[in-house]
Structure 1
Amino acid sequence: MPGSPDMRVYEWQGEPTPVVDADNLLFFALGGFPDDQPGRSWDEEVAKPAAKDIRATAVDIYTEPRWLRKRRARNGESVPRRGPHAAKTIGISMGGGQTHPQNTAHSARLHQLLTNLLALQSIQRIAGWTNSNHYANPPPVLFMAFAKQLHSFYEKELRSVCEHDPRTIRNFPARLSVFSMVTINFGPATVTFPHIDYRNLAWGWCAITALGNYNPDLGGHLVLWDLKLIIRFPPGSTILIPSAILRHSNTTIQANETRFSFTQFTPAGLFRWVYNKFRTDADIDKSKTTTPAEHEQRKKDRARRWDEGVNMYTRWQGPVSTV
């Protein structure tokens, strides 16, 4: 783990924990995992099967020798920005020059392997626990429970995208997920570099679920650099953070251990697309029909968008403890 004396370590055990700022706004959430019910185990029914399913898919995608070898710069290529581990992303994207929202492009074989993975019960249980009320007992769970307004905003905007263009296909049924995209970090030892996800919504949340066979006391911690905070991150648990503004990474794990992660998010471009009434910023700015008054109103909207977003955070009324 980072050894800087000004970093604090929070020995999180996986219980749902709100993290609030000085104004009691719930800034992010240590979501954890559901309490086991009599005769039921989240670890045995979900976390371990999900790790096994992700590993099996990785072997099918990469073939095992290539998957086990760290990705290094070669033939003019650079190491991926988030780290040298294997990873794939699937879902409805918008940004990077796209003129409209569309599903990520993959070969037919890769698309089938990824969609098959997302259809498995273990993965759908994680998606449902993270941000819907389908698998909750009692409802609601995580995203909805910790940030109801923000969750509703995500749900409404993605629904608008899909209704406007039926060619866009969600990763999960609407009852399970309000996020448009998933990144699966196949590892096998997922260790990310410090980074921000600058294409995500600035005040939005992404959900990170850690999986695999590793000792969370010795590695795999989530590091939030701007907060000088290191968080123990047990396998099977989920943390929701504003990944576009918090620089984050995770620590190394021990030799012969495995760590995967399952990350759900929605790019900021989708929200802009809906705000623009299903047009890009460039389309509006260049259009001869856009009036000076409309240009001025858009400037005002951009200036206040951050405040409107932060107002979607929950003002926490319950007890708090220092993290």
Structure 2
Amino acid sequence: MRQVYFDGEPTPFVDADRRILFCLAGSPPDRNGSDWEGDVSVPAAEAMTGAAIDIYTVPRWQRKRAAGEATPRRGGHAAKSVGASMGGGQVKPQNLAHSPRLLAIFAVLFALKCFERISGYTNSIFMAFAPDLWKFYRDTLDAVCAHDPDIIRNFSAKFSVFSTATFNFGPRTVTFPHIDFRNLAWGWCAITALGNYDPDRGGHLVLWDLKLIIRFPPGSTILIPSAILRHSNTNIGRHETRFSFTQFTPAGLFRWVYNNFRTDKDINTSKHTSAAEHEQRKQDRRRRWAEGIKMYRTWQGDVRTL
């Protein structure tokens, strides 16, 4: 494994063809009276702490699991996802189901200036380092929302092109090695680390397939293709806290738009789907990966190579 010292400065990583595979987005520099730590990352962590106390009844919202009780695939920490969903037998996109009380808590979090700034900064880095992929995400979510006004965005269109978010409440978010197989294969997922921990000693992002261990300081964001890169993060100190805020778009939403707002099953079983259409879809599937990675930007400046 190779260790990567990441100090928060935006840094793209390219493959052998100089395509940007993922990006260490970091955080914006403090200037003109702006203090990212004091104005954004610390308030965001405090807001997640308050939300977790409101959501979970167990002290510190981290209980020991009963013998034989399954541990969630990504890790034993507390987490909630919110936003648009498509997959698992759904016949159309829907907002993830939550009680009115939970939805009110999420609405408060999304309305906070700190999360708005995290989302806006992530959006700008995504657009700068992968403009074609960013446009694909933007156009897809715009199409989904235009087709169904009941779909609720987590943030306004100017702040985010992602449909869905997960609040990993921790309080010690340590994930197992995993891939997010329901995300777009060549798409990016944004991970923002928050909390009070020493990034030189723990909380590192591990990209197992690339054999990289990346220093991941609180308040920083990293964008990775989470559906194809097995990833996790290292442990932190016993009395430290680590939260994360992730943003993504399920692959099902892209399929729904590609299918002209129909499911694969609907098209494949419909008597109105012609043999030519079936053949065209087969050819599209064969080309999809190659067309997808064309959305990665070729970088000519200074970069880190894999």
- TM-score by structure 1 length? 0.93
- In 2, are the aligned partners of 1:81 and 1:193 still within 8 Å (CA)? yes
Q: Give the C-alpha shift of residue 304 in structure 1.
A: 0.2
Aligned 1:4-83 pairs, distance under 5 A: 7-65=1-59, 67-70=61-64, 72-74=65-67, 77-83=69-75
Identity %: 67
Aligned 1:289-300 pairs, distance under 5 A: 289-300=272-283
Structure 2, unaligned stretches of length 5 or more?
A: none
Is 1:112 matched with 2:95?
Answer: no
Distance 1:278 1:302 in 2: 17
Aligned 1:197-236 pairs, distance under 5 A: 197-236=180-219
Query: Which amino acid in the other structure matches residue 16 of structure 1?
Result: P
Distance 1:278 1:322 in 2: 39
Query: Which amino acid in the other structure matches residue 299 of structure 1?
Result: K
Is 1:142 matched with 2:132?
Answer: no
> Which residue of 139, 154, 158 corresponds with 1:175?
158
Counterpart position of 1:277: 260
Q: Give the C-alpha shift of residue 116 in structure 1.
A: 1.3
Counterpart position of 1:138: none
Counterpart position of 1:266: 249
Counterpart position of 1:134: none
- In 2, are the aligned partners of 1:201 and 1:267 still within 8 Å (CA)? yes
Counterpart position of 1:136: none
In structure 2, the residue corresponding to 1:260 is in which secondary structure?
strand
Query: Which amino acid in the other structure matches residue 188 of structure 2?
Result: W
> Which residue of 231, 236, 258 corresponds with 1:253?
236
Q: Give the C-alpha shift of residue 110 in structure 1.
A: 1.1
> Which residue of 82, 85, 103 corresponds with 1:93?
85
In structure 1, the residue corresponding to 2:218 is in which secondary structure?
coil
Is 1:301 matched with 2:284?
Answer: yes
Distance 2:278 2:214 in 1: 44
Structure 1, unaligned stretches of length 5 or more?
A: 1-6, 132-140
In structure 1, the residue corresponding to 2:47 is in which secondary structure?
helix
Give me the CA root mean square deviation.
1.1
Distance 2:305 2:260 in 1: 43
Query: Which amino acid in the other structure matches residue 73 of structure 2?
Result: R
Query: Which amino acid in the other structure matches residue 51 of structure 1?
Result: A
- In 1, are the aligned partners of 2:74 and 2:177 still within 8 Å (CA)? yes
Query: Which amino acid in the other structure matches residue 113 of structure 2?
Result: Q
Query: Which amino acid in the other structure matches residue 177 of structure 2?
Result: P
Distance 1:90 1:207 in 2: 15
Counterpart position of 1:165: 148
> Which residue of 283, 288, 293 corresponds with 2:271?
288
- TM-score by structure 2 length? 0.98
Counterpart position of 1:135: none
Distance 1:148 1:322 in 2: 20
Q: Give the C-alpha shift of residue 320 in structure 1.
A: 2.5
Query: Which amino acid in the other structure matches residue 280 of structure 2?
Result: Q
- In 2, are the aligned partners of 1:202 and 1:244 still within 8 Å (CA)? yes
Q: Give the C-alpha shift of residue 65 in structure 1.
A: 1.1
Q: Give the C-alpha shift of residue 269 in structure 1.
A: 0.1
Distance 1:51 1:193 in 2: 22
Query: Which amino acid in the other structure matches residue 250 of structure 1?
Result: N
